[in-house]
Amino acid sequence: MSSDTERAVYIQHIDSEHRDEYLKAHEDVPKGVSQAMKRGGVTEFELYVRDDLAVCILEAEDIGVYLDEVDGDEAVEEWERYVAQFKREGVDVDDDEEPIPFMERIWTLSRASV
């Protein structure tokens, strides 16, 4: 991670009966979603999956700017509603309180701290 970026991590629980559909959906993420993320200052986004757990790592110039850009974006909302059918829990664009369930970082190790 660059010193010019912020990192946020969140998990999503995939419905085990729809895991294959979730994976297949991510073979072709809509261009409008990627464009909205880039407009929001995303410099890196990674998605990891193991069993029914999906871990998302987001790096952006400013997480607040990113959230402002994707909030209400039509392509992003359509995508999130589409993939929601394959999940038990995770991003919920209709949740006004916490649409993205960001995790709290409680410990870190870096070269600078060794």
Bridge-partner residues for 10, per DSSP? 56, 102
Q: What is the DSSP letter of 27?
A: G
Task: Give the three-class secondary structure for 56.
Answer: strand
Cβ neighbours of residue 81 closer than 8 Å, sequence gap 6 or more: 93
Domains of the chain and CATH, by start: 6-113 (3.30.70.1090)
Pairing of strands 87-89, 53-60: unpaired
pTM of the model: 0.88
pLDDT tens-digit readout, 16-63: 999 999 999 999 999 999 999 999 999 999 999 999 999 999 999 999
The token duo for 71 is 């909030």
pLDDT tens-digit readout, 76-88: 999 999 999 999 9
Give the helix ranges, DSSP H, for the chain: 19-25, 31-39, 63-70, 74-84
